[in-house]
Structure 1
């Protein structure tokens, strides 16, 4: 029997999944307490409400419709597997939650059910100094892990903006992107293997070959990437083995100012193509982003009005390498008309790269009124040559959105190298959202804008998401267009691995894998 939760599984129209009936909830809790301790099964309103929100602009005016029925906090792979088996038996949705920092609502329980919070699985199980690997529970975050690794002169270089609060398991489930990925690789490159609970409750070891520490195998299908970036729709990672690197002796993060976007864009590409071995990334901030920083960021030293774009390059490595590479990049920047902003701004702004994730920020209405807004961004992978055209098109979309409503503000764009070759860029447009004014009309306008932003990315030959995922309203509508036959394969995989549609239903249009006639009644 397959199960599709919710009243309208094949559209983006608002719908509500009711809470479990008292009888079904009692049956579920009794079963869960048979495999978990009482303090691992949470029913209090505060426990459930606190796990129903993420930083993304989930429609907060309908927030109460997405509160889980129960939260569980397992401590082992076997406990996770037992919870998932119970969910299959009782046909109750399961949603994994790690740090809850995702920007496409992957951890929001669209159809209530069980939220599996992995934060108690935060142990370091094995540190192998010979092979430079560490095996951890997926509930640990990179900050705490690196504190433990520092005395050994090693670090785990997965460095998202949400570094202090996102967890290893969430990074696997979203196939996360790292700020220094051009030097060390992104999550998919840094995770060697992991134990994974499938939607049926079976346990699979995912990696190259059967070993935990193997980085390359040609045995069979390469399954690791299949079980990364699925947004919790194909199971739950519980224990992972990660690559470690020597902690860098030096880092350099110069910021340069430009009086026009075109020169800054050209310089960014030249920096990425310079072939510097310690190159960890280059980022381009456009005029709208500079204006936002000048207007609203109290921690930022404002730039003169003639500064229309900023470029930052980042290098990590041994001191002699970074010095040599830095001289080359400074020479390239000067040739493109750059003006160095100085050590104070450069070091301070790079050091503060994690500090303001998911915090209320100052926004402006279309009439100029300054009010608190929440931050969101739409992201895509865009090739270098197409960045200027995509930037113009995206700002036009937001300008139209702002003309229609006071709820949104354009906070500018940045483009960040995905690889050391600079072929494509994580491209984000930051948006302020006045959540207190968010209603059905504003939400519909936002979804329309998200869809238009994604369409521009696809039309440019890019991908509509570089890191956050495209699993919710708006951009998700274009997933079949971007992936073509690949989307049909996704449906096939989902149907085979999750016959009861238990894992995170409502995401990635995967409910289409199931027959409407088998809709379940809660």
Structure 2
């Protein structure tokens, strides 16, 4: 029987579980050592170091096939043992962090390419494959898979499905939900279903029945585990243009960003607005950016992909718009180099300042929301005020500025993020409580401005998750109904998204493991 929150299995219970797993896995696929378990508790989002042990699974498994995943989940369901899927572990809201022990299903060994269909331009892969490695192989055929998160070199396709991830070039090619055509999915009972638009594996639009594909994306592992996926491919771009412009004030940069997004350029892949706080951070972090002169108060980047002749024509239009808004071009070297290094920043920002101005090592975290263009300035001010208040209370935190990225090619809404430096070695329980309150306030600002708590990272961490029922309304009750129906014993990633409320009479159902 599963014990209270975070209580590990007894030695006898663990032995029984391992014996059951040996019926579907080899011994070398069942990992019980402390090192193996600790390695599968860490995610990039900072957490109090002294509390990492709260996230330890009882064991981890490394399946290589859908059948093995299904077998593991059937055993876990029968024995009432929690299951947490883990792909790249790059998420920022604890989707891959175990909260109730149990089994971490590490999918990184499922990295095969099963089929490459050059005519229909699709590829079917195991969800443990990484986009960078996949694109290295697709490049031989003049194709690429354009799902491009900040964590591109280290995130995996399965994690992108589990979070319904957002792509840096989504304004041109779409985001994960648009690029994943279908996938095989293991339900919490161990049953396997195929999810897509209709029943086909390579169909991009169907009106046959409910649109189930989106239901099984972005659930953070609470409704099962994707195992193989069929992805949409595009011609590898012949040309890329990524101009960066500087501005001496935020308002002109903001207006320029909106104008670029509304320009109707077919090759437009996205625009990014860096605010003054972000520019100030980049000046003092010499690993992240070439310092800008003191009169630079904001930056704007725009990106285009396509054939050379169309990119050249579209680029002329965007350069004209930028000039009309008072922009100064930063030059080819900085523009090309900074865009090429866009994925490096997922790991490199390490420099924060304490109250006395000292620069010290810090971990990085960002809070994201979906915000309409017209509300960006007011949301930006409110968020900076929240972090300023946090900094007045403790030097554990630092404001590293804000980005706003177009989510679509018309610029209707933006992935809006505030980056926060966190001195993780000093992140004690008191500072953590302050951070949770700040996260809740940040989420409340997004909702008050008609936005969504999260564009891509998910909202299942302490703080923002508290407001999910407020954002979704009756829809949250539907989530509870779906969870209870598909996962009657609450084994799939329990403790996430407030879904324990689906089992109000017994939030931690007792199990059969004796």
Instruction: Identify whether the pair has TM-score above 0.5, normalized to the shorter chain.
Output: yes
Which among 118, 132, 144 is matched to residue 129 of structure 1? Answer: 118
CA contact (8 A) 2:266 2:314 kept: yes
The 1:142/1:517 distance shift into structure 2, 3 A limit, reads closer
Which among 285, 305, 311 is matched to residue 316 of structure 1? Answer: 305
Which among 441, 452, 456 is matched to residue 445 of structure 2? Answer: 456
The Cα of 1:298 is off from its aligned counterpart by 2.9
Calculate the aligned-residue CA RMSD, in Å. 1.2
Which among 45, 48, 60 is matched to residue 34 of structure 2? Answer: 45
Q: Which residue of 1 aligns with 2:496?
A: 507
Q: Which residue of 1 aligns with 2:63?
A: 74
CA contact (8 A) 1:6 1:111 kept: no
Which among 363, 378, 384 is matched to residue 352 of structure 2? Answer: 363
- Does residue 242 of the first structure (1) align with residue 231 of the second (2)? yes
Which among 314, 318, 322 is matched to residue 325 of structure 1? Answer: 314
The Cα of 1:301 is off from its aligned counterpart by 1.5
Residue deviations 1:211-238 (CA, integer Å, cap 9, x gap): 1001111100000000000000000000
Q: Distance in 1 between matches of 2:3 and 2:281?
A: 40
Q: Which residue of 1 aligns with 2:201?
A: 212
Say how many residue pairs are matched: 511
Q: Which residue of 1 aligns with 2:102?
A: 113
Q: Which residue of 2 aligns with 1:17?
A: 6
Residue deviations 1:167-192 (CA, integer Å, cap 9, x gap): 00000000000000000000000000
The Cα of 1:24 is off from its aligned counterpart by 0.7
Q: Which residue of 2 aligns with 1:99?
A: 88
The Cα of 1:92 is off from its aligned counterpart by 0.5
**What pairs up with 1:129-278 in 2 under 5 angstroms?**
129-278=118-267
Q: Distance in 2 between matches of 1:6 and 1:189?
A: 41
Q: Which residue of 1 aligns with 2:411?
A: 422
Q: Which residue of 2 aligns with 1:12?
A: none
Q: Which residue of 2 aligns with 1:469?
A: 458
**Unaligned residue ranges in structure 1 (runs of 5+):** 8-15
The Cα of 1:89 is off from its aligned counterpart by 1.0
Consecutive aligned runs of 4 or more in structure 1 exceeding 2 Å deviation: 58-61, 515-522
CA contact (8 A) 2:484 2:490 kept: yes
Q: Which residue of 1 aligns with 2:393?
A: 404
Q: Distance in 2 between matches of 1:37 and 1:53?
A: 25
- Does residue 431 of the first structure (1) align with residue 400 of the second (2)? no
Q: Distance in 1 between matches of 2:491 and 2:446?
A: 32
The Cα of 1:61 is off from its aligned counterpart by 2.5
Q: Choose 297-306 or 273-282, whichever is displaced more.
A: 297-306
Q: Which residue of 1 aligns with 2:51?
A: 62
The 1:274/1:450 distance shift into structure 2, 3 A limit, reads same
CA contact (8 A) 2:85 2:225 kept: yes
Q: Distance in 2 between matches of 1:41 and 1:350?
A: 41
TM-score by length of 1: 0.96
The Cα of 1:57 is off from its aligned counterpart by 1.8
Q: Distance in 2 between matches of 1:344 and 1:214?
A: 41
Residue deviations 1:357-400 (CA, integer Å, cap 9, x gap): 13460111122121110000000000001000000000000000
| Counterpart secondary structure, 1:356 | helix
